[in-house]
């Protein structure tokens, strides 16, 4: 075979088809496929409901029982941590520290009458003056304690032992004494 014959054969023969590139699915195609699959599942379930209602409702009941068992089980009997009030002794020195505040800049309110903690209006700027809002960490001396709400030593009368309010007295919650 000559070189020319060889060239003619390659020209006359059908060229091999190139392999097709895989088509990339777009997000819209994927969403449409998921919607069709969900529609098929719903259609199959409705067909099962019409053709064999015992199996359909039995399956629904089984799913409800499994979910109910999951929701009712678990957890534990561990108690939530609760602040334990330490016993306080009249005449002892303490430091004011709020048991309920995470902010170290928070102040502790001292009032003239025990039990009036929620009965004050804190909107006036003049209320912030005069040793009514004491910084945390201020040393105090316990003068007396008062019971309330069936609990022992709920309120404490304290006297400031240092700073610009030294010698001033006021009532605070006993849990604020550390």
Look at the block and give the residue holding tokens 């009368």. Answer: 157
Walk along the chain (178 residues) and give the pLDDT tens digit of each residue. 555 555 555 555 555 566 665 566 577 778 788 888 878 888 888 888 899 989 999 999 999 999 999 888 877 777 777 766 678 899 999 999 988 788 888 888 888 888 776 555 555 555 556 788 888 999 999 999 988 888 888 899 999 998 888 999 999 989 889 8
Between CA 169 and CA 171 the distance in angstroms is 7
Between CA 146 and CA 173 the distance in angstroms is 10
132 with 142: CB under 8 angstroms? Answer: no
Instruction: Extract the tokens encoding 40.
Output: 């098929």
Cα distances from 1 to residues 14, 24, 77, 86, in angstroms, run 20, 46, 94, 110
140 with 94: CB under 8 angstroms? Answer: yes
42 with 49: CB under 8 angstroms? Answer: no
Q: State the pTM of this model.
A: 0.51
At residue 134, the 3 state secondary structure works out as strand
| Contact residues for 171 (Cβ-Cβ < 8 A; gap 6+) | 110, 111, 112, 113, 114, 116, 146, 155, 156, 157, 158
Exposed, middle or buried: residue 172 (CB in 10 Å: 0-12, 13-18, 19+)? buried
Q: Taking all residues of the chain, what is their mean pLDDT, rounded to a whole number?
A: 80
């Amino acid at each position: 075979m000559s070189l020319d014959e060889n060239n003619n054969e390659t020209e006359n023969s059908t060229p091999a088809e190139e392999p097709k590139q895989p088509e990339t699915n777009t997000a819209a195609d994927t969403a449409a496929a998921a919607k069709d699959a969900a529609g098929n599942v719903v259609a199959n379930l409705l067909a099962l409901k019409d053709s064999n209602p015992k199996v359909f409702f039995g399956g629904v009941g089984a799913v409800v029982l499994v979910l109910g068992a999951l929701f009712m089980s678990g957890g534990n009997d561990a108690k939530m941590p609760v602040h334990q009030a330490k016993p306080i002794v009249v005449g002892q020195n303490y430091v004011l520290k709020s048991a309920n505040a995470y902010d170290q800049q928070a102040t502790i309110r001292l009032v003239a009458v025990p039990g009036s903690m929620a009965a004050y209006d804190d909107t006036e700027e003049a209320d912030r003056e005069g040793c009514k809002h004491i910084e945390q960490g201020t040393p105090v001396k316990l003068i007396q304690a008062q019971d309330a709400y069936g609990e022992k030593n709920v309120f404490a009368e304290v006297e400031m032992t240092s700073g610009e309010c030294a010698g001033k007295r006021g009532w605070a919650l006993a849990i604020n004494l550390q």
